[in-house]
Structure formats: C-alpha cells, structure tokens
Chains A and B, each alone.
Chain A
Amino acid sequence: MPGVTISRWTMSYFAAALICLAAGLASTASGFGYPSVPVEAPESLVIIHLIAIGWLGLLFAGSLLQFVPVLASRQLQSPHLALPTLLLTIGGLVLLLTGFLGLADILPFLAWTLPFGGVVLTFAFASLCWMVIGTLVTNRPLSLPAKFVALGCAPLIGVAVMGLLFTLPLSGLTDNSYLVRLVLEAAPAHAYLGLVGWMTVTAVGVSYRLLTMFLLSPEKVRSTSRAAGWLMVAALAAVLYDIVFAGAGTGRKWPLDVAVAIGGTAILLYAIDVYSIFKERKRKSVELNVLSSLVAVAMLVISFILFAVSIAIGNVADMVIPIAYLFTFGWLTGLGLGQLYKIVAFMTWLEFYGPVLGRTPVPRVQDLVNERRASVWFLLYFGATSIATIALIHDVPDVFRWVTIAQLMAVCALAFEFIQARRLALVPASTKLPTGNAISRLFLPSFNGRS
C-alpha cells in the first residue's frame, strides 16, 4: 500500500523553530542587533542566524520530512536520521550563536565555536539532503514539485559550506586572503543561497502541490512553472560565479544583480501559476492557510518590485535591508506560519483520528482550529510586517521595534492556536476522544510504536 506515515519528529522541529522565531523577535524588540547596530555586527548576526537557521531552517527541514514522502509516494529514506538532524541543527546553531556573542564581547570568545558550529550545521544539512534526495530519487521521473525540492538541496549544501568557510577567518583561525575576501564580499550571495536558493525554490515546488491539493485544482505541468525552474537554475549559476570570483578578488557586482533579476522573473512566473491554480480551483471556500499563503506570495512579488524600482532610481544600497526583511518576514515567514496553521492541524488529525476513522464520528481537520480568531493574528502579523518594512525604508528604528512587538504578539498568539489544535481543544463534543493522550504528546512523538 503506497501509504505514507506521519513524520515522528516534525512537531519537535516546529516547536524548536517557533521558539527561535519568538526569541529572535523578542531580541530585536528589546533593541538587540539591527537596527541598533550595523547589520554586519556580531549582535545582528545572532538575530539573522536565529531566524534563518533556527526558525526557517528548522521549519523547512521539519516540513520536508513530512512532505517529501508525499511527493515520492514512499516512506522517507533513513527516517532514523530525523532526530540526529534536529539535534545537530540545534547544537550547531547554539555553537554559532555562542561564537557571534563572543565576537560581540557578550560571552567569552572561544575561537573553535564558530568553525565547529559550521561543521555541525554542514553535517545536519547534509543529513537532511540525504533523506530528501534519497527519498525523491526512488520515484523517477521526478514530478515538477519534486524537481524544485531536489534543486533546492544544492544551494542548501552550498550555503552550509560557505558559512563554514566564513567561520575560519571570522574566528581568526586563518588569514587566507581568498577566505577573507569571501567574508567581505560574498555575504549577500550566502544569504541568496539560503533564502532564495534553498527556501524559496523549495517553497515554490511544495506550494505547487499543496495549493492544488487544498484548492482541489487540477495538477498540471505549466510551461510557466518549467520556465520558473530553469530561471532559478540560471540565477543559482550566476550566484556561484559571484562567489567564486568574489573570493579571488576579481568579483563584480553584476552577477548577483543578474541573479536577483532572473530570480525575480521566475517569481513573477510563479505568481502567474498561483493565480491560475486559484482560478481553476474546484473548492470555492478558501481557508486561512491558503489566504495567508496568497498574502505571502504578494509580499514576495512586492519585494522584487521594490528591488527593481530601487535599481531604477539608484538607491539599492539603502533598500537592500528593507527588501531582505520583507522577503524573510513577509514571504518566507508569512508562508511558513500559514502552512504551519494547516500542517499542525492535519498531522494532529492523522495522529489521533486517523486510527478511528470509519469506526466512530470524527471531526474535519478544519474543526481543530478557530479560523476566525487565527485570522485576527494573521492580520496583525502581516500588518506589523508591512509597517516594519516601511519603518526600515524611512529609517525610524523606534517604530520598527514597536511593530516587532506586535509581530511577536501575533506569533505567540498563533503558537497558542497551534497548541490548541494539538490538544484537540476545539473539536466538537460529539467527536472528542475519550483518552487524554493528546495532551501528553504536544511536540514529542509517541514512544509506544504507534505513530
């Protein structure tokens, strides 16, 4: 039977990811890191990596462990690596943050923490890629979403190795001129590989399947989708060129600009696909996870439009941070929170109601959540993110920090909604389960061999 089981550790990935997001927002709201200090300051690097690896990295990794088997219609390759990968990611991140805090003179500086953290994180992401690629290649030819997910693994390894190389001169272990220049010149390419190369490419691929599933839209391979994939390949090639020549000291500014322009074109094609999927849907009612995904896609498109406009009027240097912020918090985080809202409820339903389906009345997945209440939190989150972006553009850090508090409130409220779903607190009385086992399994798997 081509069934796919529930990923045992995905909820633990999500819990750790949400803690990192809340910690990052709380730190920013308290005045730690950017915009109180420059973006390249070690304090800012703490926040950036807490969000990029701790929140988004764990969120994407946990989601892939559940979703890649769905794409491949088979069990996950080496599922026993899921827990070590989680622990390695958290451990590597802690080492990395300890190193940055040492560089900021907040903790004693130990030179080995940064490269050791880099090595641990590289192993963690290699392990994730092993599971993802190992699962996908068994079902060839790859479907379009699977191709995007597989493509995303290359920049994931690239960003991890590049980060490891950065740690060597940063920790003072080497003064190799190639590596020093790499740190000075290639940080934007490092960010591009992670945020666009891995996360955006993966999110685009996964959303082609998820949106058609949730909207009951026909699954088609559109020429626009194929073109978006090839454009992303070209953009990643331009980034690779940028990285190699940045270290050699012969780097130019244009390869990364070309990569952003090509990536932006791919995103516009993707937005056209999302519109087509939405238009051809059979399911007329649109749930909150889809609505929030649509808002996230709109913020993605806006971030590329802002980039194009800033090139046209010649103020890219001033706009890079607001654009990167909108991209990270509007697109990736907005999409992530929207999908979490659905995935948590869906996995909880499978875990607790799947085994009794057909034997007793069961609720719908939608009955596990309170859509009206959650929509207020999503509105607050996206509103605060928009205002925060405007505050960054107009350089008003106080406003930025205040709206970060609003973002934090929205994230905490959504986390509460996820916990309510996990506890089955909202299901109709007629479908309540007699046992209280839901309460004991908030984010850890069952250890009785059942799920």
Chain B
Amino acid sequence: MPEAFQQAEVIERIRQQLSSVIDPEIGRGIVEMGLIYVIEAGPAGDVHIMMTTTTKGCPATAFLADAVRACAGSVIGVTNVDVELTYDPPWNPSMMAP
C-alpha cells in the first residue's frame, strides 16, 4: 500500500510542521494543545484539516486557521489545504497533552 503509506507520511509531516504554530496566550503548540482534531490527505496532495480554538469567537481564530493553512501548504507533497473549523466537540483543557 505505497499510496496509503505516502499519505500517512504527509500527514505526519504536516503534524510536525503545525507543531511550530503556537497558541499565543498559552505559548504551547496548537497540536500539543489538542486544537487539531483531524488531518486527512488525499492521493493528489489535497489535505483536509479539522481544527478548533480554545474559545468560540476567539479573536485569534482567523489568524490560527490562516496559519494552519499556510503551514500545511508549505509541506512537500501538499497541493491544496482545506481548513474546517469546528466546535463539535468543544475544546476543553483535558484535550491538552500533559
């Protein structure tokens, strides 16, 4: 399954790349914060990321989504990034890595 393997590799690279994006208030990476719910990669390099923010209506929401889009788009092998914001389930502090 080389295709699936490649997709898993892309997802892992995206996850690593997104680790550099911090939540400005907490100062921790958004991956570590549990704000990235899902990363899916298609065979043609199209990527779908489902994410949230610590608070619905947070003024940083658009900047965070934009940063995720830019960051994931810079990964080799990614051709298109679709970022979806969700609050279902809403984020809670237990989603953070210890």
Contacts and interface: CB of A to CB of B under 8 A. Distances in A.
A, B from the same assembly: yes
Contacts of A282: 93-94, 96
Interface residues of B, number: 30
Interface string B52-66: 001111111111111
A349 B94 CA distance: 26
B4 interface: no
A358 B59 contact: no
Interface residues of A, number: 36
A5 B63 CA distance: 10
B24 A358 contact: no
A2 B85 contact: yes
A1 B57 contact: no
B22 interface: yes
Contacts, number: 93
In this complex, the member of A217, A346, A357 whose beta carbon has the largest number of chain B beta carbons within 10 angstroms is A357
Contacts of A1: 61-62, 65, 85
Interface string A327-367: 00000000000000000001101100111011101101110
A366 B57 contact: no
A182 interface: no
A214 B58 contact: no
A365 B93 contact: no
A216 B26 contact: yes
A283 B26 contact: yes
B56 A2 contact: yes
A3 interface: yes
B21 interface: yes
Given A1-B85, A357-B64, A364-B27, A350 B59 contact: yes
In this complex, the member of B24, B54, B62 whose beta carbon has the largest number of chain A beta carbons within 10 angstroms is B24
Given A3-B62, A364-B27, A358 B68 contact: yes
Contacts of B85: 1-2
A432 interface: no
B3 interface: no
In this complex, the member of A5, A217, A354 whose beta carbon has the largest number of chain B beta carbons within 10 angstroms is A354
A94 interface: no
Given A218-B93, A354-B63, A358-B67, A73 B22 contact: no
Contact of B59 (A6, A74, A361): A6
A324 interface: no
B21 A357 contact: yes
B40 to A, nearest CB: 19
Interface string A65-107: 0100111111000000000000000000000000000000000
Contacts of B67: 357-359
Contacts of A353: 24
A184 interface: no
B25 A73 contact: no
A234 interface: no
Contact of A350 (B54, B57, B63, B92): B63
Contacts of B56: 2, 73
Interface in A352-401: 353-355, 357-359, 361-362, 364-366
A358 B66 contact: yes
Nearest to A72: B57
A364 B28 CA distance: 9
Given A216-B26, A357-B64, A365-B24, A73 B92 contact: no
B75 to A, nearest CB: 12
B93 A216 contact: yes
A213 interface: yes
Contacts of B63: 350, 354-355, 357
A4 interface: yes
Contacts of B64: 357
Contacts of A358: 20-21, 66-71
26 contacts: A1-B65, A2-B56, A2-B61, A3-B62, A4-B57, A4-B58, A4-B59, A69-B57, A70-B58, A209-B55, A213-B54, A217-B93, A282-B94, A350-B24, A350-B59, A350-B63, A355-B63, A357-B24, A358-B66, A358-B67, A358-B71, A361-B20, A362-B22, A364-B22, A364-B27, A365-B25
Interface of A: 1-6, 66, 69-74, 209, 213-214, 216-218, 282-283, 346-347, 349-350, 353-355, 357-359, 361-362, 364-366
Interface pairs A-B: 5 shortest CB-CB: A358-B67, A3-B62, A73-B57, A282-B93, A354-B63
